[in-house]
Structure 1
């Protein structure tokens, strides 16, 4: 797959655009994710013309509809930033982004839990940065995350898995999609979706089964919405265990007694938290190759993202 294009707060790439002229370089983003992603840097404050260095700003007022105000002089910069943000998201439509990484705690770019100050100066962590809110409303299906949350292994895996899946889906849309290609994509991703939501996976299956009777454009739109809603849900140990046991059923006539016991033991060790997901998945891939199981060989679940990222290595 070609480099996947995602948006990133410019300071996280090491660009000196923060209010004090500094940066917030995140080397996991640049050095690790940079091998797979093509970054589109965005800095709301500098692009809106606030300059570097500049007076610090913060959110004040109603957490649901806060104002952006300078800390010392009390200037209200809300309308100026929002006008820029609305233009910028329309420009970003041309970039075909498959994700965005925001700078945490920023009054413009924070994705969640940004401090919003009351008239008495007391903050509550209930805000969303003005640009981040505008972006998420404009692109509700694009995966988003913050730099700090990327250090949580489960959140990191979920975000990156969604980015790669959306990129694969976009490739389908770019290649003159047909009902057959939709069926093929769903077949390949079925177990991956099951690991997030068995219910939504069933709804997607019903949609795909009726695709020949539907307007294709409408069916693709509905499918994308269900796909991204499903993958946003957490893939828990219980859900992964269910998928692994489901996959084991495809080998019930070919596994030897020892092989069956070994696979059951490894799945149980994963369920109990003794080994990471990569262990039963690796053993499952071994049996897929050994017994040439065609359906499982097509499953993206076994290889949803580059092995080098080690996203399934945490217990």
Structure 2
């Protein structure tokens, strides 16, 4: 049974026709998540009093200070957005991730036009939107993506793995029991090894709790290490080493041809010809065949609900 992650999502991604042009955006991946997650939709621009439809706004830097600006009315919206973001974040429950509108001056996590001043003719660079920047600052390490990048299979898969890892940790933390944290570390061993071996060892030291800290403090420390462990994409070599480690638990029972097939598949993954999920399903099949309970307990082999595995891939955003 998978926990339901809590995701803050841009309201225009299929929840309300609240874009500046009065439209909504159909995001197939967001739509597919609705049965599996708890969404908290928000439109920061509407929340600060801008209508629908509305004149476009801009993200701008003025003396290295970020601002929101509406060129047609010359309104500076910075203070209103700061106040809204602060109040909104204060009311949120524990959040496992964000899916925000790409290239939006308020919500875009990246690839947003950031103008070099308030002039209508100012040049621009690429950066993050104002609300997204506030969210990243308030929730460091929490998975945040836009619907455009999530059209890429690899980025989508990694987002889901991180999302459900945080949701499971939130569930363990809510119990307040040390044994649940020990179980979390145990079942996430291969996943953390693949993502960041150094941080995996750091997480293990926190769980060992040689300092005899109170349980609440141990969970808080583990949370910080977990966010650091999953903050960056796993290196290809690290993931392959982890897959080989998992394969070692079942390889003795396989024929020569079966071993050769797995190694060929591993090379296809290395060359990005097949997705990670194909290797994970293969290893899980071996684990089921040989009743390998250790491997079957590892969330890396079944990190998120199977219906969310979609092989469509934009090819962009890698």
Q: Secondary structure at the match of 2:96?
A: coil
Report the alpha carbon displacement of residue 253 of structure 1 after superposing the two structures with TM: 4.3
1:1-315 alignment, distance < 5 Å: 1-30=2-31, 32-62=32-62, 64-92=64-92, 95-119=93-117, 121-178=121-178, 180-210=179-209, 213-310=212-309
Report the alpha carbon displacement of residue 294 of structure 1 after superposing the two structures with TM: 2.0
CA distance in structure 2 between the partners assigned to 1:66 and 1:273 by the alignment:
39
Report the alpha carbon displacement of residue 241 of structure 1 after superposing the two structures with TM: 1.2
Q: Secondary structure at the match of 2:65?
A: coil
Which is helix-richer, 1 or 2?
1
Report the alpha carbon displacement of residue 20 of structure 1 after superposing the two structures with TM: 2.5
CA distance in structure 2 between the partners assigned to 1:76 and 1:177 by the alignment:
48
Q: How many residues align?
A: 311
CA distance in structure 1 between the partners assigned to 2:311 and 2:20 by the alignment:
37
Report the alpha carbon displacement of residue 258 of structure 1 after superposing the two structures with TM: 4.0
Relative to structure 1, is the Cα distance of residues 141 and 131 closer, same or farther in structure 2, using a 3 angstrom cutoff? same
CA distance in structure 2 between the partners assigned to 1:193 and 1:159 by the alignment:
14
Report the alpha carbon displacement of residue 311 of structure 1 after superposing the two structures with TM: 5.5
Deviates more, 1:183-192 or 1:17-26: 17-26
| Cα-to-partner distance string for 1:271-297 (whole Å, 9 max, x where unaligned) | 344433233322211221122222111
| Cα-to-partner distance string for 1:73-110 (whole Å, 9 max, x where unaligned) | 21211112211211111112xx3321111111222112
Report the alpha carbon displacement of residue 6 of structure 1 after superposing the two structures with TM: 1.0
| Cα-to-partner distance string for 1:59-80 (whole Å, 9 max, x where unaligned) | 2234852221111121211112
Report the alpha carbon displacement of residue 24 of structure 1 after superposing the two structures with TM: 2.4
| Cα-to-partner distance string for 1:117-176 (whole Å, 9 max, x where unaligned) | 234523323332222122221222321111111112222112121111111111111223
Relative to structure 1, is the Cα distance of residues 108 and 162 closer, same or farther in structure 2, using a 3 angstrom cutoff? same
Relative to structure 1, is the Cα distance of residues 155 and 71 closer, same or farther in structure 2, using a 3 angstrom cutoff? same
Report the alpha carbon displacement of residue 10 of structure 1 after superposing the two structures with TM: 0.7
Q: Secondary structure at the match of 2:114?
A: strand
Report the alpha carbon displacement of residue 246 of structure 1 after superposing the two structures with TM: 0.7
| Cα-to-partner distance string for 1:237-260 (whole Å, 9 max, x where unaligned) | 322211111112223544444443
Gaps of 5+ in 2: none
* Greater than 6 Å deviation, 4+ residue runs: 312-315
CA distance in structure 1 between the partners assigned to 2:176 and 2:214 by the alignment:
15
Contact 1:276 1:313 (C-alpha < 8 Å) held by counterparts: no
Report the alpha carbon displacement of residue 264 of structure 1 after superposing the two structures with TM: 2.9
Deviates more, 1:301-310 or 1:244-253: 244-253
**TM-score relative to the length of structure 1:** 0.89
Q: Secondary structure at the match of 1:13?
A: coil
RMSD: 2.3
Contact 2:190 2:300 (C-alpha < 8 Å) held by counterparts: yes
Report the alpha carbon displacement of residue 299 of structure 1 after superposing the two structures with TM: 0.5
Relative to structure 1, is the Cα distance of residues 296 and 141 closer, same or farther in structure 2, using a 3 angstrom cutoff? same
Report the alpha carbon displacement of residue 37 of structure 1 after superposing the two structures with TM: 1.8
